[in-house]
Amino acid sequence: MPFDSRSATPLAQARIAELALAIGSFAIGTGEFAAMGFLPSVATGLGVTVPQAGHIISAYALGVVIGAPVFAVLGARLSRHRLLLLLMMIFGLGNLVSALAPSFASLTVLRFATGLPHGAYFGVAALVAAGMAGPDARARAVGRVMLGLTIATLLGTPAATWAGQVLGWRVAFAFVGALGLLTVALVWFFVPRDVPDRLASPLRELTALREPQVWLTLAIGAVGFGGMFAVFSYITPTLVNVSNVPLAMVPLVIAIFGAGMIAGNLVGPRFADAALLPTIGGMILWNVAIMVLFASFAQVTWAAVLLVFCVGTGFAVMPALQTRLMDVGRDAQTLAAALNHSALNIANAVGAWLGGAAIAAGHGWASTGWVGAILGIMGLCVFGLSLITPEPKPRFA
């Protein structure tokens, strides 16, 4: 039978529900990043080149960007509990069917469809976690849900990558799909039911798009967070060619990056609950400083490894931005919160593209750090603009 709130204290119930939601974020993080590790297996299995196989990653990212607002608006009248079940069911089944794809074209379409619930899941899960935590601990609750995503970079992604390389890419997608369906069961049993907001509607959710602060907060993430992806997208050749890290040791350094993400995700929300806007501004400044140091000292092996950890800590700004979107979204929180991961995927695309352009222009592998610093400074400018822009007011009683 479903979870009965009378069988546990509110704090215990909240922690169990957060764990269920975090397993969903672990599944999504594993599925998103692991595909990058077994692209050669996909290419061989379906008779395409590795660059062509990379289109499944682009298709997934496009699904994330499009799906977040679509599901947030169309699911406005559903309870958050039911919407979570729907989103994770689509994700789980999408991965299972991906494992059965008969052709590259069908796999590409399926990866797009599987990406559709990604952003909306994180947005709704964050709202549920924040609602259980109360006003003084929202960012920490959001951080605990996102902890699954950061742990995926350390554990889930390597496991799924290994499965894809050794057992085949179909097994890897099936593994992620099973995690998604496990999350469906956990959400059903352990996440408390809620009653749909009787005033909620698709039109009401769309009012979030009228708020300048929503757009500014999304722009902070889309621009200011791009530096992490500019560096991480080319981390392997940078470590090997500039930092003189042996190729066999690169997976360990990437694991150190994942540890940095976990550390940032644990520490950053504590500051955000105490002072949200100063934390966002401070974390962007931290990112700029780390990017400059990375570009300047990437040739020093020990410094490069330490700085890779620090680049990972930049993830600390994500729970803070998620919490900020809940505030400025006001009466359209679902759409505002869901768009956070659309912004994150835009940051991914922009950072990787600009980093690659800098390398192609002959500025060297470590120039991705300078690209990240410039993007961070642009993010700071957007943050400054948000400070002088009036806060939105609720439109609905």
Q: Where are the domains of the chain?
A: 1-196, 201-397
140 and 269 Cβ atoms separated by less than 8 Å: yes
Asked if 118 and 228 count as a contact pair (C-beta separation under 8 A), the reply is no
pLDDT at 199: 66
For the chain, what is the mean pLDDT? 85
**CA distances (Å), origin 69, targets 198, 340, 342:** 20, 10, 9
Under 8 Å between Cβ of 372 and 242: no
Helices then strands (H, E): number in the chain?
20, 0
Query: d(Cα 370, Cα 51) in Å, to the nearest integer?
Result: 26
Let me know: does 396 contact 331? Beta carbons within 8 Å: yes
Model pLDDT, residue 8: 37
Q: Dump pLDDT digits (tens) for 35-83.
A: 766 777 888 888 888 667 778 887 888 888 888 888 888 887 888 899 9
Distance CA 127, CA 205 (A): 14
Superfamily of domain 201-397: MFS general substrate transporter like domains (1.20.1250.20)
Contacts of 306 by beta carbon, 8 Å cutoff, 6+ apart: none
Q: Do the beta carbons of residue 4 and residue 12 sit within 8 Å? A: no
Same fold, 1-196 and 201-397: yes
Q: Report the pLDDT value the prediction gives residue 109, as an integer from 0 to 100.
A: 93
Sequence-ordered strand ranges (E) for the chain: none
Average pLDDT over residues 253-279: 89
Asked: is 1-196 a CATH 3.10.310.70 domain? The reply is no
Task: Identify the sign of the CA torsion 385, 387, 390, 394.
Answer: positive
* Sole residue written with tokens 């890897």: 172
pLDDT greater than 50 at residue 7: no
pLDDT by residue (tens digit) across 286-302? 999 999 999 999 999 99
- Give the span between the Cα atoms of 373 and 385, in whole angstroms: 19
SS3 for 75-142 is: CCCCCHHHHHHHHHHHHHHHHHHHCCCCCHHHHHHHHHHHHCCHHHHHHHHHHHHHHHHCCCCHHHHH
Confidence of residue 200 (pLDDT cuts 50, 70, 90): low
Structure tokens at 273: 């609950």
233 and 396 Cβ atoms separated by less than 8 Å? no
Give the whole-angstrom CA distance, residue 286 versus residue 289.
5
Range with the lowest mean pLDDT among 194-203, 362-371, 383-392? 194-203
